[in-house]
Amino acid sequence: MLRIVPVYPELLSIYGDRGNVRVLAQRARWRGLPVEVAPLRLGEDLDPAATDVILIGGGQDRDQALVADALIAQVPALRSAIADGVPVLAVCGGFQLLGHSYLDQSGRETPGTGLVDLVTTAGRRRVVGNVVVEVTMNGVKQQLVGFENHAGRTELGAGVAPLGRVVIGGGNIGDGQTEGCRVDRVLGTYVHGPLLPKNPWLADRLLAWGCEHRGLATPLDALDDRLEAAAAQAAIDIARAETQTRR
């Protein structure tokens, strides 16, 4: 049984991030894979042996502060799962909580898990808008499309690679350069939307890693992603048009 574990979805699932959970589960079902969504609720402990994909969604500053201590208590189990090859997708607030700390606009410093060497500090203005990112994974260039809305400016540590290069949008520090982070199978990103419906290649990458972890057959059968591709192209066209009007 492939287990998809959204972490504290009752608080970390802003801007539709719960859609990422539904896309992963449905793309598994379309392939006839045995799949279960097993949310980790506040107060529960993560069982690394019963976890194949970890999803940490975004949240308001206050939501992040509410979950931080509980999430930090899960670090040993998270490290065990990651070391065993379980992929993590952390979006926005979840991405920030992968790091050492998040200093929000009120001056409150929320501690992070320290799973990835990064630090986030809120800027005065929010970074908001459509975003297109070029990601190179296993030597293949792909595009990520979606939406970003964050005060945080995330600085990656020296040994941490960005997830991708910003083509349109703000990205990690709002300067249009780099976006997200990647350490092996731990992916962080500011891209909401939700992210996975319009980026099926990333959904299948996470699913394949999860299946490998569970000993289920890979590579995954191809799906008819024409609708997803059309949605992604529409999002890119909107982002490009917005960029033109801003000039």
Q: How far is the CB of 113 from ligand GLN (least distance, A)?
A: 15
Binders of ligand GLN among residues 8 to 37 (CB under 6 A) are 14-15
Residue 81 or 92 with smaller CB distance to ligand GLN: 92
What angle do helix axes 18-29 and 200-214 make, rounded to 10 degrees?
70
User: Per-residue contact track with ligand GLN, 131 to 170, x per CB under 6 A?
Assistant: ------------------xxxx------------------
Among residues 52, 61, 179, 228, the one that binds ligand GLN under rule CB under 6 A: 61
The tokens describing 104, both together, are 């929000």
Q: Look up 213 and say whether it is catalytic.
A: no
Which of these, 48, 62, 88, 29, lies nearest to 209 by C-alpha position?
88
The tokens describing 121, both together, are 């500090």
Amino acid at 221: D
The span of 37-45, 56-64, 170-178, 225-233 binding ligand GLN (CB under 6 A) equals: 56-64
Residue 68 or 168 with smaller CB distance to ligand GLN: 68
Q: How far is the CB of 169 from ligand GLN (least distance, A)?
A: 14
Residue 96 or 209 with smaller CB distance to ligand GLN: 96
Q: Exposure pattern of 188-204 as b/e (b: 16+ CB <10 Å)?
A: bbbbbbbbbbbbbbbbb
Q: Look up 150 and say whether it is catalytic.
A: no
Q: How many residues bind ligand GLN (CB under 6 A)?
A: 14
Among residues 19, 59, 171, 174, the one that binds ligand GLN under rule CB under 6 A: 59
Task: Judge contact between 160 and 120, C-beta under 8 A.
Answer: no
Catalytic residue among 100, 150, 192, 213, which? 192
Report the alpha-carbon distance of residue 165 to residue 163 in Å, rounded: 7
Distances (CA, A) of 31 to 25, 34, 236: 10, 9, 28
Residue 74 or 154 with smaller CB distance to ligand GLN: 154
Which pairing describes strands 109-111 and 101-103: parallel, antiparallel, or unpaired?
A: antiparallel
Which of these, 26, 31, 35, lies nearest to 220 by C-alpha position?
31
By CB under 6 A, residue 93 contacts ligand GLN: yes
Active site residues: 92, 192
Residues engaged in binding ligand GLN (CB under 6 A): 14-15, 58-61, 64, 92-93, 96, 149-152
